[in-house]
Amino acid sequence: MAFEGLSDRLQDVFRKLKGKGKITEDDVKSAMREVRLALLEADVNFKVVKDFTSKVRERAVGQEVLTSLTPGQQIVKIVHDEMTDLMGGSESKLVLGKSPAVIMAVGLQGAGKTTSAAKLANNLLKQGRRPLLVACDIYRPAAIKQLQVLGEQINVPVFAMGQNKPLDIAKASVEFAKSNNRDIIIIDTAGRLHIDEELMDELKDIKSALNPDEILLVVDAMTGQDAVNIAEAFNVDLGLTGLILTKLDGDSRGGAALSAKAVTGCPIKFVGMGEKLDALEVFHPDRMASRILGMGDVLSLVEKAQANIDEKKAKEMERKIRDLEFTLEDFLDQLQQVKSMGPLEDLIGMIPGMSKQLKGVKPDVDNNEIAKIEAIIRSMTLAERQEPNIINGSRKKRIARGSGTRVQDVNRLLKQFDESRRMMKQFADMGKKGKKGGLSMPKFPF
Ligand SMILES: Nc1nc2c(ncn2[C@@H]2O[C@H](COP(=O)(O)OP(=O)(O)O)[C@@H](O)[C@H]2O)c(=O)[nH]1
Ligand SMILES: [Mg+2]
């Protein structure tokens, strides 16, 4: 995960302050000196660092005293707020006007344009839009093929015209979108190893012809300050509307995420968190600041859970729980959903305090535990899943044999299931009495 070094160092700084009942100006000064070093080491632009620390120092020294916080917590809060501000304050949404709306992905070679274009199409598709991917990187035949393969994976059509001029392809794609009822065009453009004039001219021509709603620069977070310099250059020539910062799942030091907005004025709109096509996240400055400061990222966690749990199914589940109709079959279904949220390691990293504690601990156990439970339920007949009471001794033996587990394991699962079913009913009843009454996530017995 990116930011690890920065995150650790900042947490050390704050730990020193936390125990203190009173914080002197000297404490603040020395803390800010360490924050400054930590940021510079994370490859944050030095001018940005200077502004940042002086803002924090000013607020920390002349701070309004919040009675609910200790002085140490107040400084953490000030740093958090200023860091949020630094990264743009609040989320910058895509602004898509006309139909078809046009999004252009630009950037250097290898930054992640093609992948991000497909990820973005995938996100928009999930929001009920009808995107069209357009292959304007004509210089390598493999680039067109790459986009076509990705498009196929997510069921989004790809408009390609071989090695025709990118400008002509872009123009033709608008007509194609209109006659094929696609409402968003996402143009994957060519990149070079360095910024060059010929490429810039090509991009400018496409821009003037299509008047894109969004021109998103895709930059690799691993390139640190270089990413910011690249962004500045593209912005001067093209007028960017936002950035997509990729490879934040790698061990980037984080400098690009922290400096980009301040240096270029362009907000980061999305971050790439992996090679898979669902690994593009909306960038939330406040959550990113929380993550960097080791405050966890509860909101992202909640959102992730929500996106993966089918709303309708959840409602139906809630009703079943309330009426005690919740069966092992449903339980299995929910396990699938939890699994679809991704590896437990990722989720754990987002829970406050957990990432630090669990560093180096392999949560394999839990994944194995899930696999075991799944195997046991799969070895049951449908009748058994729906009416666990009928599972007697000989049935248990059969189930254990079928799932490669022991009778004790089957017993434990049945007991846990029974307990959690009772607990869930209590929660559901409580929810019903409360204002909203929504069980968004079931409680699991492990
Ligand atoms: N780990 C990781 N890899 C990424 C991410 N985005 C892109 N990549 C990888 O980076 C490489 C270059 O991506 P590509 O989309 O072809 O770059 P392009 O030349 O700008 O079109 C590919 O191997 C991608 O799988 C990301 O967010 N995380
Ligand atoms: Mg490409």
Q: Which two tokens stand for residue 123?
A: 């996100």
Write down all domains in the chain, each with its CATH number in brackets.
4-86 (1.20.120.140), 101-295 (3.40.50.300), 309-433 (1.10.260.30)
Rounded to the nearest angstrom, the distance between the alpha carbon of 247 and the centre of ligand 1 is 7
The reported pTM is: 0.70
Mean pLDDT taken over the chain: 83
Residues lining ligand 1, judged by CB closer than 6 Å? 107, 109-115, 191, 218, 246-247, 249-250, 272-275, 279
94-97 long-range Cβ contacts below 8 angstroms, 24+ apart:
94/213, 94/214, 94/242, 94/269, 95/213, 95/214, 95/241, 96/184, 96/213, 96/214, 97/213
DSSP 103-126: EEEE-STTSSHHHHHHHHHHHHHH
- Percent of all residues in the chain with a pLDDT value above 90, rounded to a whole number: 47
pLDDT of amino acid 422: 77
Nearest-Å Rg of the Cα atoms of the chain is 26
Q: Which stretches does DSSP call E strand in 68-183?
A: 101-106, 131-135, 158-159
User: What pLDDT band is residue 363 in, cutting at 50, 70 and 90?
Assistant: very low
Closest atom, ligand 1, to C-alpha of 279: 27
- Work out which ligand 1 atom sits closest to the CA atom of 137: 21
Residue 379, pLDDT > 80, answer: yes
How confident is residue 162, by pLDDT bands cut at 50, 70 and 90? very high
Query: Ligand 1: distance of its center to the CA of 38 in Å?
Result: 28
Average pLDDT over residues 197-220: 96
CA distance 217 to 157: 22
Q: Could you tell me the pLDDT band of residue 326, with boundaries at 50, 70 and 90?
A: confident
If one residue of 122, 275, 276, 283 were mutated to test the ligand 1 pocket, choosing by the most ligand atoms within 8 A of its CB, it would be 275
Ligand nearest to the CA of 219: 1
Q: Which helix (H) or strand (E) holds 217?
A: strand 214-220
Best mutation site among 1, 106, 115, 244 for ligand 1 pocket (most ligand atoms within 8 Å of CB): 115
The ligand 1 atom at the shortest distance from the C-alpha of residue 250 is: 1
CA distance 254 to 270: 14
Q: 219, 246, 278: which to mutate for ligand 1, most atoms within 8 A of CB? A: 246
Least confident window among 59-73, 175-189, 327-341 = 59-73
Which ligand gives the minimal distance to the CA of 118?
1
Which atom in ligand 1 lies closest to the alpha carbon of residue 272?
A: 27
Q: Does position 90 have pLDDT exceeding 70, yes or no?
A: yes
* β pairing state of 214-220 and 101-106: parallel
* Best CA proximity match to 3, nearest among 41, 52, 51, 56: 41
Ligand 1: atom nearest CA of 111 is 20
**Model confidence at 361, in pLDDT bands (50, 70, 90)?**
very low
pLDDT of amino acid 292: 84
pLDDT at 408 over 50: yes
Taking only the tens place, the pLDDT of each residue in 129-141 is 999 999 999 998 7
Distance from C-alpha of 58 to C-alpha of 46, rounded to nearest angstrom: 18
- The protein residue with its alpha carbon nearest to ligand 1, atom 13, reads 112
Inform me whether the pLDDT recorded for 101 exceeds 80: yes
Provide the pLDDT for residue 369.
Answer: 75
Q: Is the pLDDT of residue 196 over 50?
A: yes
